[in-house]
Structure 1
């Protein structure tokens, strides 16, 4: 009898470290591990946070412990501010943190809108600065992983996933990284609903990048039904198409969708309906504040719920947070690696020729067969001219931002912003970059010393090389 056929009690226990354990998403992660315990017995779940997140960690950690206790499982949930203790011997490390917390996102969105730019945390100026704050911390985590859990998989859903994954793959020796997003899962569920079939019967071909991909084929029971799905998409009212909670639902013309011969992820609204999205964000800002301020209120309400000592399940209200399925996607990937399932999931991995139009070393988001050795990408081939241009633009942006984060090259960062369609002015790019740099200088070690004085590029490179083994 193989280990795959043994019961949970006979399996090797699994240790997972979750960086950013005080996140409001954590109950979904815990729920996912509880549901899969028979096949994927997580015996140790370490929730890690920093001092500023101690209160949230204790609140959400308490709920996590109650959930496990109610399930009657021998899973130990540890709460700690000591990241190295949590990482020691871990089999999987999941990352879901936000450098500077929501206040940093508020600054990103407010400053971008002030300069007439879309302020969205994974796109344009706001996305770039979230990446610039995040990449040094991810590299620091990897340095610890190299020492303490060198065989672990890093499962990242800290945004912007595409740029973070790109930086790790290009500038470190760590290749066991999987980037996750909830968009493909939502699209698969949507397609299943349009076609009135069970989601398990649906497989998609994805072409592109995180938050910037197209569904270029759909298989139902292994048979391509894409033309039928595309026509169905063109006949549905926009409210039935589904979109992310942080994106205004703007219907694309049937001419566009048929011309692309692909179904765009909803985040492409920012690029295909830039004017309308910006107007909507500015209107929302005047009425409710930026999206991050709305999220901050939702989070405050969630944590009040989490404090209830009688609560021992994930509350329904978590779905209002706007990131449903992120954590469940992480649980699914981990379960499939542990059990060598060979099922198809949608993740960010190194390209390795999967999309021949993109660099071999770069990160792509695609359908992968998940095995005991990790994700195996399903070949896409060459991108069609209809979708290649916008994908190439964003890949250039991702590469330039990743390099700027490693080298401390501010000029390159500005050039990256100008290259992004969401910024149509060199002068504005310089202005917004300088203002965001000043706003976040405490979280930008690639640009600033501890005393707030600017670093030169050679200093930044030296600091980065100390943080992580650079390739």
Structure 2
């Protein structure tokens, strides 16, 4: 089995490598190729990856290359984890929206749209090259904004599934609170990427007992503290919202906070500098503890699980993925990309049925889906007016003066990445 990681020079990659090494019985990788144009980073990450495999006794071969076509040739699955423009672009995404009083964040709001505009054309080009080389390869997208990028891939006819680590993080957290193994916890997870709610927490599988009410009663304070929202809000919702919902439920509070502290991009850039120094140590043969603060917790386990299911090697029977709606949520179009539990196999994911969704959540999902429609249109076709309409449709913006001002700033800060600008 051959896997290729595009964006393999990312400081995330050792987390992924550690998962491949630990979970090799689920996903027997014989060849792993890390592809990245940043040669210096790639060599550092590749060296550590080989040492991790060696320490854990994994017999697979790891190679690195800046040649995409060679790297994906013959791959059974291609994982995408790239960041167009790097941390410098992320720093901009997180700062210029604040000038208009809007949240600055890399996956939602105006910053999220900027990232989508930079990313979608690049990902589609990569996917076309994968298809020319190996049309049967699965594409697993971890590149944000996952929902929009996955929809672009599916709309272009690629064998693609989107992946996010939010659900597996909740699964691990809840398992610890309940004193059970993670495999015993099944989430009723519903929404769009980075716009999700845990409406049930079941023991044993999709038909198991829902212990969410007890979980909230006994551990609501700790759960709310992790989400940085009041316990009373969680109790009133009766579900566990993704921490990304704080941008919607406490928008103005978040803007005030973001204006008074360094950006997350600046923090991550500093971490990356430290991590790359560590990766260059020939004695280091495991992922460092600092990597846990970088983000992407449990990404490796989710990725291994998904790849194993798609490639017929096993994996968990049900996994949270991003895929076409196709009637799962009747209030959204069939071609919307939703994030829900699905049965995953070699033919791809099949979403499980979802109970009726509270209008409080369904309304916001429908609004953001409409924004994602417009965002994808802007990413594919370009043009100031398409960017403006996408921003106007976003529930975190929604005022024409803000949308106009943000459009100008978005184009000014991203001109080098926008072919039409």
Q: TM-score, normalised by structure 2?
A: 0.95
Aligned partner of residue 102 in structure 1, secondary structure: helix
Q: Over residues 271-321 of structure 1, what are the superposed CA-to-partner deviations in whole Å (9 max), with x where a residue is unaligned?
A: 01111111111121xxxx211001100111111111110001111210010
Q: Structure 2 CA distance, aligned partners of 1:210 and 1:26?
A: 22
Q: 1:425 aligns with which of 373, 391, 399?
A: 399
Trace 1:80-159 onto structure 2 (pairs within 5 A).
Answer: 80-159=65-144
Q: 2:239 corresponds to which residue?
A: 262
CA contact (8 A) 1:36 1:335 kept: no
Trace 1:10-409 onto structure 2 (pairs within 5 A).
Answer: 14-50=1-37, 53-170=38-155, 172-174=156-158, 176-222=159-205, 223-226=207-210, 228-233=211-216, 236=219, 238-241=221-224, 243=226, 249-254=227-232, 256-284=233-261, 289-337=262-310, 338-341=312-315, 343-409=317-383
Q: Structure 1 CA distance, aligned partners of 2:398 and 2:228?
A: 21
CA contact (8 A) 1:238 1:251 kept: no
Q: Structure 2 CA distance, aligned partners of 1:429 and 1:380?
A: 34
Q: Over residues 403-427 of structure 1, what are the superposed CA-to-partner deviations in whole Å (9 max), with x where a residue is unaligned?
A: 1111113212212212212114311
Residues 251 and 66 of structure 1: is their aligned pair in 2 closer, same or farther, counting only changes over 3 Å?
A: same
Q: Over residues 160-202 of structure 1, what are the superposed CA-to-partner deviations in whole Å (9 max), with x where a residue is unaligned?
A: 10111122223x121x211111110111122223333222111
Q: What displacement does 1:382 show?
A: 4.0
CA contact (8 A) 1:250 1:273 kept: no
Q: Over residues 381-400 of structure 1, what are the superposed CA-to-partner deviations in whole Å (9 max), with x where a residue is unaligned?
A: 54221211111111111111
Q: Structure 2 CA distance, aligned partners of 1:241 and 1:372?
A: 38
The unaligned stretches of length 5 or more in structure 2 are: none
Q: Structure 1 CA distance, aligned partners of 2:243 and 2:348?
A: 28
CA contact (8 A) 1:212 1:268 kept: yes
Residues 280 and 414 of structure 1: is their aligned pair in 2 closer, same or farther, counting only changes over 3 Å?
A: same
Q: Structure 1 CA distance, aligned partners of 2:356 and 2:213?
A: 20
Report the more deviating stretch, 307-316 or 232-241: 232-241
Q: Structure 1 CA distance, aligned partners of 2:57 and 2:209?
A: 44
Q: Over residues 329-353 of structure 1, what are the superposed CA-to-partner deviations in whole Å (9 max), with x where a residue is unaligned?
A: 1112112333144611111111121
Q: What displacement does 1:77 show?
A: 1.0
Q: Structure 2 CA distance, aligned partners of 1:385 and 1:73?
A: 49
CA contact (8 A) 1:48 1:80 kept: yes
Aligned partner of residue 42 in structure 1, secondary structure: coil
Q: Over residues 82-104 of structure 1, what are the superposed CA-to-partner deviations in whole Å (9 max), with x where a residue is unaligned?
A: 00001111100000010000000
The unaligned stretches of length 5 or more in structure 1 are: 1-13, 244-248, 449-471
Report which of the two structures shows the higher radius of gyration computed on alpha carbons.
1
Q: Structure 2 CA distance, aligned partners of 1:198 and 1:381?
A: 25
CA contact (8 A) 2:192 2:337 kept: yes
Aligned partner of residue 427 in structure 1, secondary structure: helix
